[in-house]
Structure 1
Amino acid sequence: MLRIITQRADARTELRRICDRTHDEQVVHKEATVREVLQAVKRQGDRAVLHYTTEFDRLTLKPEELRVSGSELDAAYQQVSKELLNAIRLACRQIEAFHRQRVPKSWVQFAEDEVVLGKRYTPVDRAGLYVPGGQASYPSTVLMNAVPAKVANVPRIVMVTPPGAGKTIHPAVLVAAQEAGVEEIYRVGGAQAIAALAYGTETIPKVDVITGPGNIYVTLAKKLVYGTVGIDSLAGPSEVLIIADKVANPVHVAADMLAQAEHDQMAAAILLTDDSVLARKVVDEVARQLMDHPRRLLTEKAIAHYGLVVVVESLDDAADLSNEFAPEHLELEIADPWGLLDKIRHAGAIFLGCSTPEAVGDYLAGPNHTLPTSGSARYASALSVETFLKHSSLVQYSQTALQKVAGAIDALTIAEGLHSHGESVRLRVRGNPSPEP
């Protein structure tokens, strides 16, 4: 049953509990398993990848079966409906258009005395995309990871995804990958897939950045290989926080909460409202919509453990509680969402107004749906083009410019006890001749 809380102190306690829901005692044991997988793949390459695929996924693959063939890629187009293909193409266009606005520009600034300063952006050489799979298919996740990498002009993009029954990958996933410009795809998942991307094997190339969500084993593997490669984030279970007032439709609010809860049994769905009548109607509506829900058991568990309705004194109080929670998804189903926006400091993505369900952002609005979770929106942001770029500083000084700052550099190098740092400037300023050959 979805709970209603009216006391601010109780609400804060419950929100903290929900935010910390991934900190369970099983993580230490799982991390030990992941370390073992990483080391084995690092030492044994394909052999370890195939071994763990058999052990964890109950699928026996040959090395030559790891990469999805061209004929499989071609056949995928024959297995999706025209409506789905058109939807994938629309989403691809929308996502690309949004991310093209985010591409940072290299720049150079010319200052006095022929001083040149600047910043240069270049893509990583290789990006690895992890797409969850097995019994489910997530073409939207393919697009959200692949399109920004393509916009960033990454020269080589590879994708890994666990196969389902019969060693197959859902055709919608294969079509989405090709529409986004990715054709190098490997049928492997779990920690062994992350290890293969981080260290490289005989078949799967080593990459520079790994992006994409996965289960706890995938997340731990990304955490442990960070430093060897870059990563986008450590994604936890999904969450939505809805701030609603009397103009909100309880049927819609309930549907939005269930849309999050149906992800998995650890997903969180939270409503903050200043209308006690709306709160009760939403609780009743959630129960009604759950009755015939195709994922009822899983969704009910999520609602029971991590569903919450809080009745607050004002929308300002709701904004304060939301900022403490720092939700992955924030919906403002209120009469004046833009009026409250200035009070929102922490959220992965913000959906404004009663006609903007979070599902719009999940699929094709354009902004990325790979977002910070578990309170990390306090300091982190969505996956973007910048995830696949790095920047280098550009610095050029003339002899005149160096002469002007030589004294200050000398003082700083003396203070730090770094003789040769200072000498590298002093020698240039004095104009000492080059040593005899």
Structure 2
Amino acid sequence: MTDRAREIADRVEAFVRSEIIPYERDARFALHGHGPSEEMVAEMRAKARTAGVLSPHILPDGSHLTQQETAIVLQRTGLSPMGPIACNTAAPDEGNMYLLGKVASPAQKARFLDPLVRGEARSAFFMTEPAEAGGAGSDPSMMMTSCRREGDEWIINGRKKFITGANGARVGIIMAKALGMNGAGACLFLVNLPDPAIRTIRVIDTIDSSMPGGHAEVDIIDLRVPADQMLGQAGEGFQYAQVRLSPARLSHCMRWHGVATRAHEIASDYANRRSAFGKPLIDHEGVGFMLAENLIDLKQAELMIDWCAGVLDGGSLGTAESSMAKVAVSDALFRVADRCVQVMGGTGVSGDTIVEQAFREIRAFRIYDGPTEVHKWSLAKKIKREWKATQP
């Protein structure tokens, strides 16, 4: 690990522990229901800006830390569920910034990326569609949202679902299937939000609750987008999405590793302070062993993250490696969160600490950015391809 990453990570951790953890009990968050309010987001980011830890993974010259350096920084932002939001390292913004940095034109970066990096705007990635309508979910090739060229504009129609942060976002990246003159294929478009052609049907009640704006279902009706707001080239949307997906999967692992670490800290403190049957809980083998298993899972997850980050830093898309990391880390961190709840008993299922929230958030993590089973299926296909390639 580099000295610059350690220095940034240490500043981030000090900021999150002193300034952001108190927001976990802020009544504005408890009352809002779908992540912190816009007022809270702006307030926390103002503090991060003052402390010099806003968008800490992006350097002053616009370059990024390496993925291995980013890992230690994002883990520290994750020590509170509010930390990534305050430091501007949260999903979907972090992944969207990465994608725009790789694919957007200079004019698009100035208009859409720069406000995100400055923490002045939030964004949303419009890809997932309603399963009940046969739309795209874990299989983007099922995309039903369509776009067609008309003069100097593209017209987009469709319905999207589970769009994180759509309510309150100012930048949208919309994936649609190209029709007509450009043939079949996916396209990505940059749009300013809100837009009257993009209508929120509902914000869905979900098990997780940390992300601003929640997860929305929206209708896109005759949305007109200037041709110069297409991201990259027509028909290349799936390819561009892959540029985003592997690092985004891994950054999820980084952030939730921080949350699980904090839950373990809280459970360990509880087990050392609470006594039952004549001795501290930590001295009961059933409790002590659970906490020991947490240490093992946290370390294995950390090493898996570092390994996959190294693959990405080497220039690979890391599709298979990020699938392996996402499965291993999400399952390991869920075990950690589950044990923390169990160790703390009734307190663990209450809102008295963030352990209960960590359990809910990490459970959802096993679904988004590809359910565990989809990644395993993809890896099994890779095994079959490689086996076939060895056959005479």
Q: Does the pair score TM above 0.5?
A: no
Q: With CA pairs under 8 Å and 6+ residues apart, which has the higher RCO, 1 or 2?
A: 1
| Higher Rg of the two aligned structures | 1
How high is the TM-score relative to the length of structure 1?
A: 0.23
How high is the TM-score relative to the length of structure 2?
A: 0.25
Pick the structure with more helix per residue: 2
